[in-house]
Amino acid sequence: MSGSLLKVAGVTRRFGGLTALDGLDLDVGAGEILGLIGPNGSGKTTFFNVITGVFPPNAGSIHFGGHDITGFAPPAIYRAGIARTFQRSRLCLELSVLDNILIGNQLRLTRGFIFNLLRRRRFADQYRAFRAEAVDLLATFDPPLARRIEEPVAGMPMILRRRIEICRALISRPRLLLLDEPSAGMTHDETRHLMDDILEVRRRLGGELAIIIIEHEMGVIERITDRCAVLNFGQKICEGSYRAVAADPLVQQAYLGVE
Amino acid sequence: MNGSFPRALLPGLAAIVLGVLFLALLLTFESQWSVGALLAGGAAVVFIASRAGLLSRAATSFDTHEPVMAGATILALLVLAAWFAEDHFPLLMLSTVLLMVTSCLGLTVQFGFAGMVNFAGAAFFGLGAYTAAVLVRYTHLPHLLSLPAGGLAAGILGSVLIWPMLRTKGHYSAVVTIAFAILFKTFLEVNDTLGGAQGMKIRNIVVFGWKPNQDIEIGSLELSHYLIYFLAALALAAVAFVFCRRLERSWIGLSMDAVRIDETAAACFGLDVRRWKIVAFTWGNVLAGMAGALYALMVGYVAPNNFTFGDSLILVSIVLLGGIGNVWGVMVAAALMILLPEKLQAIQEYRFLLYAVLVMLILLFRPQGLLPRPLRRYLPGGAGR
Ligand SMILES: Nc1ncnc2c1ncn2[C@@H]1O[C@H](COP(=O)(O)OP(=O)(O)O)[C@@H](O)[C@H]1O
Ligand SMILES: [Mg+2]
């Protein structure tokens, strides 16, 4: 397979007696957009948690960019080039917009004590450079928000929080972006805008960014994904283009809940 | 530069002058009536100033002109010390406050930044004190070395204690520190080499051939030997302040905040949660240990009763009162919490009760503390565009 970026084979994850992921196989190519759908509780978020190392898999393997990352801790997986958003927004509410975005930039922040405490000139240079980058990135999504970068996130509406969260994930320039229900709590139009902005940033980054998106809005899935995979009870029941998947009787059964 | 005095400085400078004046009167007054009247007057001034919006303007001065404000604070404290140059008690009190400020800045790094509650602050302070005492008493090392040695000892023992803390989840790691605080005091009490419950005296401290624990005579002037310790404590507190401030305003402070607020999210963005906790805990204890070592040299003795769990609670309540993570708040809170019980005999016996009530009230009604921590400002002055 040419250009397989993420290669998941036989991944299983249990919580006590519950098998949330059951022998899952999934491939994502570089620059591909994959839609991950399935009813509530089918294991989609768990899949993200397993890939990012929050919960290591009980069985199976995960390869990313040709390297085995099975069982790696979250920081190592982030360093390999996978960034994510969370289903329930997990920003640092008492910190500023800028702080929240820069937290995602850990890969490039100089962490040494000497640099941070004593080389304040050089620190200031680095700060200005990253700040400008954060403003640029945020301006793609929302120019007015880019001017409010010093304000605390607390009190900002959900749509702004989503944009900030996506910028936090993008500023590290990952190779794979995991979006967990980015449209939750937003209107149709807001979702449409958000997706357009994500695609725009992706294009500017050279189109090499692969995305896995968990989404209930089928319109979104249809419009932006190259391919879809459907989960039910932790198993992949179907995979293919949106059209093929939507027409699949197994999928219709899973969504309608008929046996 | 247009040569004119920036008016934005005025509210802040006024706050410093009034604060130091309040300290001077508090340390001078003897009768309980005058102390009570002073407190009532101080509270009234603060209340009126806050109603008139002057308090927030003072806060703005500190926020926008911090180096000037820090310099002015140091200058004001030096004037205060010169005023009391011949009196032991006020200088001892001021020095103690400054050492508590240093310890609480250590707790601020641990608790305010990285979110690790440490109920053994006084134990790490005591560890530094005992290290200094042992070095002076049993070795021939230069006595000045006992300061870094005290910090080092507290840092090292803290990095041993951190392992069980990291293995426990959530607030249980605070329980580990409580256990350590109690263990530490019990260990001192039964250890005869360290003087048991009586503790030990430290005599004949010599720094560069000069004895800091003797009063200084200049002509007819007889300066208290505590003046030297005041200067040393002020220098230590100033270094600790700059350390905390720069830490906060750097990627390190940002990382610690991220770890405190959401460990899982932080880990998903590449932060090594354990690393930042270890770093915060160790440096916080180093500050407490250095303060403790200087305290031991200053008072000339160490005893287990000075480093109890109750003292650790006082340190935590200072941080809570001042505003968790606010480095200026810690100073105001430390002065109030240390000096008031000393000057008001009425509350001295009940001080722990009062502290407990105070902490509960703060947590209930103003959980962010009296002076909530402002948003991070990476560069001094403007927004840093
Ligand atoms: N941390 C956890 N502990 C126990 N059970 C979990 C945990 N996370 C998810 N689950 C369970 O795993 C199943 C799949 O959940 P999830 O992956 O969140 O589904 P989805 O995102 O598709 O709605 C659910 O039954 C859920 O209760
Ligand atoms: Mg989910």
Closest ligand 1 atom to Cα of A40: 23
Q: What is the 3-state secondary structure (H, E, C) of chain B?
A: CCCCCCCCHHHHHHHHHHHHHHHHHHHHCCCHHHHHHHHHHHHHHHHHHHHCCHHHHHHHHHHHCHHHHHHHHHHHHHHHHHHCCCCHHHHHHHHHHHHHHHHHHHHHHHHHHCCCCCCCHHHHHHHHHHHHHHHHHHCCCCHHHHHHHHHHHHHHHHHHHHHHHHHCCCCHHHHHHHHHHHHHHHHHHHCCCCCHHHCEECCCCCECCECCCCCEEECCEEECCHHHHHHHHHHHHHHHHHHHHHHHCCHHHHHHHHHHHCHHHHHHCCCCHHHHHHHHHHHHHHHHHHHHHHHHHHHCEECHHHCCHHHHHHHHHHHHHHCCCCHHHHHHHHHHHHHHHHHCHHHHCCHHHHHHHHHHHHHHHCCCCCCCCCCCCCCCCCCCC
What tokens were used for B97?
A: 């406050």
Query: Probe ligand 1: pick from A46, A212, A237, max atoms within 8 Å of CB?
Result: A46
> Per-residue confidence at A256, pLDDT binned at 50, 70, 90?
low
pLDDT confidence of residue B384: 41
Range A147-158 average pLDDT: 92
Distance from CA of B266 to the nearest CA of A (A): 8
Chain A residues within an 8 Å CB radius of B266: 103
pLDDT confidence of residue A63: 94
Rounded distance, CA A33 to CA A30, Å?
A: 9
Nearest-by-CA chain B residue for A118 = B246
Rounded distance, CA B29 to CA B25, Å?
A: 6
Taking only the tens place, the pLDDT of each residue in B193-252 is 888 888 888 876 777 666 777 777 776 677 778 888 999 999 999 999 999 999 999 999
Range B327-345 average pLDDT: 87
> Per-residue confidence at B383, pLDDT binned at 50, 70, 90?
very low
> Is pLDDT larger for residue B101 or for residue B214?
B101
Taking only the tens place, the pLDDT of each residue in A1-57 is 446 899 999 999 999 989 999 999 999 999 899 999 998 899 999 999 999 999 999
Instruction: Give the H/E segment covering residue A235.
Output: strand A235-240
Rounded distance, CA A22 to CA B224, Å?
A: 77
Contact (CB<8Å) A106/B267: no
pTM to 2 decimals?
0.91
pLDDT confidence of residue B385: 35
Q: Does residue B347 register a pLDDT over 80?
A: no
Q: Does residue B317 register a pLDDT over 80?
A: yes
Torsion, Cα of A35, A210, A72, B162 (10° steps): -100
Taking only the tens place, the pLDDT of each residue in B49-86 is 888 888 888 888 888 888 899 999 999 999 999 898 88
DSSP code of residue A93: T
Which ligand has an atom closest to residue A36 CA?
1
pLDDT confidence of residue B4: 55
pLDDT confidence of residue B370: 78
What tokens were used for A222?
A: 């249809």
Range B109-116 average pLDDT: 93
Query: Probe ligand 1: pick from A13, A14, A15, A212, max atoms within 8 Å of CB?
Result: A15
> Is pLDDT larger for residue A193 or for residue B284?
B284
What tokens were used for B157?
A: 């023992």
Rounded distance, CA A32 to CA A118, Å?
A: 44
pLDDT confidence of residue B208: 65
Instruction: Give the H/E segment covering residue A203.
Output: helix A188-204
> Per-residue confidence at B25, pLDDT binned at 50, 70, 90?
very high
Nearest CA, atom 16, ligand 1 = A43
Residues 6+ apart with CB under 8 A from B116: B110, B165, B173, B277, B280, B281
Give A45's Cβ-side CA count (13 Å radius).
11
* Mean pLDDT, rounded, of chain B: 88
Chain A residues within an 8 Å CB radius of B268: 52, 54, 74, 78, 83-84
Taking only the tens place, the pLDDT of each residue in A41-87 is 999 999 999 999 999 999 999 999 999 999 999 999 999 999 999 99
> Per-residue confidence at B156, pLDDT binned at 50, 70, 90?
very high
pLDDT confidence of residue B222: 76
Q: Does residue B381 register a pLDDT over 70?
A: no
- Supply the CATH classification number for the domain B87-344: 1.10.3470
CATH superfamily of A4-93+168-254: P-loop containing nucleotide triphosphate hydrolases (3.40.50.300)
pLDDT confidence of residue A243: 87
Instruction: Give me the amino acid identity at B101.
Output: V
Contact (CB<8Å) A106/B261: no
Instruction: Identify the CA nearest to A178 among candidates A75, A258, A78.
Output: A78
- The full set of domain ranges for chain A reads 4-93+168-254
Of A99, A116, A131, the CB nearest to B376: A99
Range B364-371 average pLDDT: 80
Contact (CB<8Å) A90/B265: yes
> Per-residue confidence at A244, pLDDT binned at 50, 70, 90?
confident
Rounded distance, CA B313 to CA A186, Å?
A: 46
Determine contact, residues B162/B124, Cβ cutoff 8 Å: no
Determine contact, residues B127/B184, Cβ cutoff 8 Å: yes
- The full set of domain ranges for chain B reads 87-344
pLDDT confidence of residue A3: 63
Q: Does residue A249 register a pLDDT over 90?
A: no
Q: How far is the CA of A217 from the centre of ligand 1 (A)?
A: 20
Residues 6+ apart with CB under 8 A from A13: A19, A20, A21, A43, A46, A50, A55, A57, A58, A234
What tokens were used for A51?
A: 């890939």
Nearest-by-CA chain B residue for A53 = B268
Interface-testing mutation among B239, B254, B271, with chain A (most A C-beta atoms within 10 A)? B254
> Is pLDDT larger for residue A1 or for residue B136?
B136
pLDDT confidence of residue B369: 78
Burial class (CB in 10 A: 0-12, 13-18, 19+), A62: buried
Q: Does residue B375 register a pLDDT over 50?
A: yes
Instruction: Give me the amino acid identity at B59.
Output: A
DSSP code of residue A31: T
Nearest CA, atom 19, ligand 1 = A41
pLDDT confidence of residue A242: 86
> Among the ranges A215-219, B159-163, B251-255, which has the highest mean pLDDT value?
B251-255
DSSP code of residue A224: H
Interface-testing mutation among A85, A88, A94, with chain B (most B C-beta atoms within 10 A)? A94
Chain B residues within an 8 Å CB radius of A152: 375
Contact (CB<8Å) A95/B268: no
* Mean pLDDT, rounded, of chain A: 90
